Structure 1
Amino acid sequence: MKKFINAVDTVLTETLDGFAAAHSDILALGGGHKFIRRKVLKPGKVALISGGGSGHEPLHGGLVGFGMLDAACPGQVFTSPTPDQMMEAAAEVNTGAGCLFIVKNYEGDVMNFEMAAEMSEGVMQVITNDDVAVEDSLYTTGRRGVAGTLVVEKIVGAAAEEGRALKDLKTLGDKVNRSTRSMGVALTSCTVPAAGKPNFQIGDDEMEFGVGIHGEPGRRRAKLASADAIAEEICEAIAGDLGAAAKGNALLFVNGFGGTPSMELYLMYNSARRQFEKRGITIARSLVGSYVTSLDMAGCSITLSMLDDEAARLWDARVHTAALRWGM
């Protein structure tokens, strides 16, 4: 295993120290490294809180800031944060209008965020489940929440900045989640520092269709194919799952898993865009880059989120985080 680390058991705390120092103009660390929070809170605004296992950076800490999250709770690598982390984060960033938890549909995340919500006041939740690859896996009951979570956090975050009420933000978050579908493909495994070896074995001429962001299996193992062929299968699965809703304007988000260069991500974007346009979908907004990663795994996911006028406006709204910045 070749990684830039000092000791396996201090990877997370040292990473958080470096991250907070690099972005000290907009972020601060909570006590005991339990959460990352906005440095300046907006009184009377609903606080948005998310989190999950580390190893998916910049999700979620890199999305804390103006126009997105107020706090993010990092667990150990690929491990859910604990309820006390969410409770302390909520207490710290709730300025009186309540908190909305945005939670990826993994059993540990859902269970722990639910416990924290029950022990806190003024909390509602949005569960993201955009992955069309599999209905159930080792980690979930129902579909997994993957890269579409970023889309929910951006659109709902912009609405929160406008001062919308907690229940309205939950309604909006659920609506965006229903309009969003994702699917990924892995070319290699990833290596968790504590394990020191790849999560799974895959041949040099193989790929895993529908892989999860922890490297969990997807739909099938297949021989490596061209980018166009890969995009066609994924886009067909996404559009087919959306059904009649797959028409009109959409956001196309091609996300890298951590080990894929931008050159290949933009090539995949080009292939996916052509596939969706052949199906009568207009790509009105785009995002390409490694935002929801799986450590050093090579591969990518494709996310399509259907946009009405409100969603497009909120996507375009100003955002200032470590990972996303526009409209300044």
Structure 2
Amino acid sequence: MKKLINDPKNVVDESVAGFALAHADLVTLSTEPLFIARSDAPVSGKVGLVSGGGSGHEPLHAGFVGFGMLDAAVPGPVFTSPTPDPIIAATQAVDGGSGVLHIVKNYTGDVLNFETAADLAEAEGITVRTVIVDDDVAVKDSLYTAGRRGVAGTVLVEKIAGAAAERGDSLDEVATVAEKVVAQVRSMGVALTPSVVPHAGEPSFTLADDEIEIGIGIHGEPGRAKISLEPADQIVDRLLEPILEDLPFESGDDVLLFVNGMGGTPQIELYILYRRAAEVLAERGITVTRSLVGNYVTALEMQGASLTVLKLDDELTTLWDAPVQTAALRWGR
């Protein structure tokens, strides 16, 4: 294992500290307990948005803290949920008097710890709503979940709900928009190589040189099947078919197509995947009106990618286009 780290026990603390220094115009850092908040939090009268989860998926979630997106992000240890204490602290820090929305990926630890934090916040008079993201069509249950996993679609939920909050929607209205995105977004991924968790020092799973894993989770948990490496177009077809069948997506739909890298995948390969996915969608009469390509929800240095398709309407398109200013996503300001 070769990694640019010091002590494996300090990886998250040191990384988050560096992130806060690099983006001091956007965020502030709390170390006891650990969370990142937007620099102007709390914003009076605005619904606060809090998300978080295990580290190792950067830029998710801290990279999406800022105007038009999250108000706070709570990083846990690598691939491990944060405890309720920093979640409640982040919730308190961003409460502007209009309530707080928790956006939670569907992993058992995340769900339980955010639920506990929400109960504690409610006891202190902060109104909290929770939206669970479960966009992965690969498996119903995994090592980490009861039900479908929350994966790259989380970015789209955070962006669109963040825009709704920024325009002044109420807590119930922001939650409804977030739930609408969850209902209309589907994802599936593939791994070419495993990742190495710093404190473990060895790959989280094994693949032969000519093997790939279809339907992998963002922690390296197993997917649908190990198969021999195929050309990129065939891999896209394998990922896209179950996505399109699941909702289902239909001719005449407008969609956002999101090709996400898992951390070790270069842009040149991601755009090859995007080309094929857009081609397949066009053949089915589905129009890609918005797109996102890049490493946004990663699994450390894993080589691989995921495809995400969101069915759009006028409201979701307007909210996606709304200005955003975060470390990892910014336009319109």
Whether TM-score is above 0.5 comes out as yes
Work out the CA distance in 2 between the residues paired with 1:36 and 1:53: 14
- 1:183 maps to 188
SS in 2 for 1:130: coil
Work out the CA distance in 2 between the residues paired with 1:244 and 1:212: 23
User: Structure 2 matches for 1:1-328, cutoff 5 A?
Assistant: 1-32=1-32, 34-41=34-41, 42-121=43-122, 122-243=127-248, 247-328=252-333
Deviation at 1:31, TM superposition (A): 3.5
**Alpha carbons of 1:246 and 1:321: their partners in 2 closer, same or farther (altered >3 Å)?**
farther
Letter in 1 for 2:23: H
Deviation at 1:48, TM superposition (A): 0.1
SS in 2 for 1:120: helix
- CA deviations 1:10-51 (Å, max 9, x no partner) are 111110110000000010011325100000132110000000
Work out the CA distance in 1 between the residues paired with 2:251 and 2:199: 42
Deviation at 1:321, TM superposition (A): 0.1
Work out the CA distance in 2 between the residues paired with 1:163 and 1:190: 40
Work out the CA distance in 1 between the residues paired with 2:242 and 2:173: 31
Number of residue equivalences: 328
Letter in 2 for 1:71: A
Q: Would the aligned equivalents of 1:246 and 1:306 in 2 still touch at CA under 8 Å?
A: no
Q: Would the aligned equivalents of 1:239 and 1:246 in 2 still touch at CA under 8 Å?
A: no
| Deviation beyond 3 Å, 4+ runs, structure 1 | 244-247
SS in 1 for 2:216: coil
Work out the CA distance in 1 between the residues paired with 2:259 and 2:311: 15
Deviation at 1:246, TM superposition (A): 6.6
Which runs of no fewer than 5 residues in structure 1 stay unpaired? Answer: none
Letter in 1 for 2:300: L
Letter in 2 for 1:19: F
Work out the CA distance in 2 between the residues paired with 1:14 and 1:34: 11
Work out the CA distance in 2 between the residues paired with 1:320 and 1:125: 24
Q: Would the aligned equivalents of 1:211 and 1:219 in 2 still touch at CA under 8 Å?
A: yes
**Alpha carbons of 1:244 and 1:5: their partners in 2 closer, same or farther (altered >3 Å)?**
closer
Farther-moved stretch of structure 1 (27-36 vs 151-160): 27-36
Q: Would the aligned equivalents of 1:13 and 1:33 in 2 still touch at CA under 8 Å?
A: no
Letter in 2 for 1:11: V
TM-score (norm 2): 0.97
SS in 2 for 1:156: helix
Work out the CA distance in 1 between the residues paired with 2:79 and 2:250: 33
Letter in 2 for 1:10: N
Work out the CA distance in 2 between the residues paired with 1:56 and 1:317: 25
Q: Would the aligned equivalents of 1:37 and 1:70 in 2 still touch at CA under 8 Å?
A: yes
- CA deviations 1:175-212 (Å, max 9, x no partner) are 11010000000000000000001000101111000000
**Alpha carbons of 1:5 and 1:246: their partners in 2 closer, same or farther (altered >3 Å)?**
farther
Letter in 2 for 1:195: A
Which runs of no fewer than 5 residues in structure 2 stay unpaired? Answer: none
Q: Would the aligned equivalents of 2:104 and 2:111 in 1 still touch at CA under 8 Å?
A: yes
- CA deviations 1:257-294 (Å, max 9, x no partner) are 00000000011111111111112110000000000000
Letter in 2 for 1:327: G
- CA deviations 1:43-82 (Å, max 9, x no partner) are 1100000000000000000000000000000000000011
Letter in 2 for 1:93: V
CA RMSD across the alignment: 0.9
